[in-house]
Structure 1
């Protein structure tokens, strides 16, 4: 990839780990002959000699660490770069309570959610919502530390564990209404205001994360799902987003979470949609032809 100091290189990609998604994006750039600077947030100090070349650069933020992604994004923007997604969206999506507030403020249907900074608040929240309920940390991926609470004993165990964690942020959780736990959920991907398609995820575990072995299949075109995905992405300010939804018993849908650095390996396999091409098109603002949305 190109040297970031090259005058012809006006695109950057922020990453520290190259996964399937990043390989696909880099391959798509190579296929189109588009030069890009690879920026590693672990080595960027943003000193005076390091920042001049960032002015006017457009940087795709694919950093795997939410904290590093937000810090580097804010820094890049302060030194004149444009980031996709921007740091504000990454901050919101990296905090489940912040995401809930944005969705709620914009009228996007989302499960009832309560903030619990202490075990006492957690007990009160579980009592208010009833069983089952879901306890989630403010920031986590792939279903880590997400617990389905079915009785008082489970609630006490999880809240006691959270209380023993080393920081106030780690100890703070949200308690969320459990909407049909164990049923399949839906992941839609939004790129530049368009829902490019959706998949259904199913698992023997109640958490339907592909990283935990969930199976995926293409979700039939659904106007309500596509509309909610676009609304959810707009609510958090994300140009590129993975939106997780679940169907309620009455057939309506509710948005669970929004991911600002979406993984799409299972999505591409199930739908045939070239997500990497769509992201590159939106990021580079090139007028190119891609498949019509599913």
Structure 2
């Protein structure tokens, strides 16, 4: 058994990582920090991994997935696992998983070329939203209101340096500018939900969106639990939008959620709940050793 049975993957320490590290330290947990920018998985590094529970908080989706896959290959237990990281790291993969699980989600089409993108936008109708396969904080997410804007955005996508970056999804715009909802689930437990109201049509807390507590809502709870289970995540945030008819739709599932706004609005100690999950894995391993 390793002296450090708990690990954390991170390269950038934000509010969430400070909270998690402080919680781990306050419990006297021995934590092995893995920075993807410095880990090459040399033999001496690999030797530390078997049996280790590792919380994956890497900010880069690509590095997070590579770390999860590698940790699993060498006998560690990443939270979330590689399968969930792979699905949540791609908005198209997330959409497919939600759709296959019967979870309501906005109409979404794939655009691997500008030509396909224009056809997708015309099929959905204006306004439509064009998103990259993977992004956070609303970056490179565009609200398309006419064909001129569509052509400009898709031409820009076509000039990006990799096939993955050039690929986009086209999604119906569900009441753009209206507040959306975010729920958080940890180990099958719904911790609550907040309402986010942005300063533009995107409701990202990182962009200055205001947050408030959502009153208990059975439908939101059910959709958050179902969406988290559909992608196979043990820790996740679920973003939802509400259509003009009042129907809730799951927009995204994030396997490495930010929770600063959530904690401030709800008073729920998300960091403690996540560490409960990870430390529980450590305790289970000790008991079985």
TM-score by length of 1: 0.94
> 1:253, CA displacement in angstroms?
0.3
Look up the match of 1:75: 70
Look up the match of 2:174: 179
Runs (5+) with no aligned partner, structure 2: 283-289
CA contact (8 A) 2:187 2:235 kept: yes
Look up the match of 1:160: 155
**Equivalent runs, 1:58-207 vs 2, <5 Å:** 58-207=53-202
> 1:160, CA displacement in angstroms?
0.9
Q: Does 1:229 align with 2:224?
A: yes
Q: Does 1:34 align with 2:29?
A: yes
Look up the match of 1:49: 44
> 1:251, CA displacement in angstroms?
1.3
Aligned residue pairs, count: 282
> For 2:9 and 2:278, how far apart are their aligned partners in 1?
13
> 1:68, CA displacement in angstroms?
0.6
> For 1:116 and 1:204, how far apart are their aligned partners in 2?
28
Look up the match of 1:25: 20
> For 1:157 and 1:38, how far apart are their aligned partners in 2?
43
Distance verdict in 2 for CA 1:286–1:236, change over 3 Å: closer
> 1:48, CA displacement in angstroms?
2.1
- Pick the aligned partner of 2:244 from 245, 249, 258: 249
| Cα deviation 1:31-64 (Å, max 9, x = unaligned) | 2122111111111111222201100100000011
Distance verdict in 2 for CA 1:139–1:129, change over 3 Å: same
Q: Does 1:9 align with 2:4?
A: yes
> For 2:190 and 2:104, how far apart are their aligned partners in 1?
17
Q: What secondary structure does 2:8 align onto?
A: strand
| Cα deviation 1:64-89 (Å, max 9, x = unaligned) | 11111110111111000000001111
Alignment RMSD, CA only?
A: 1.2
CA contact (8 A) 2:54 2:77 kept: yes
> 1:249, CA displacement in angstroms?
1.3
| Cα deviation 1:197-238 (Å, max 9, x = unaligned) | 101000121000011111111111101001100111111111
> 1:286, CA displacement in angstroms?
7.4
| Cα deviation 1:238-276 (Å, max 9, x = unaligned) | 100010001111112000001110000111001000000
Q: What secondary structure does 2:237 align onto?
A: strand
TM-score by length of 2: 0.95
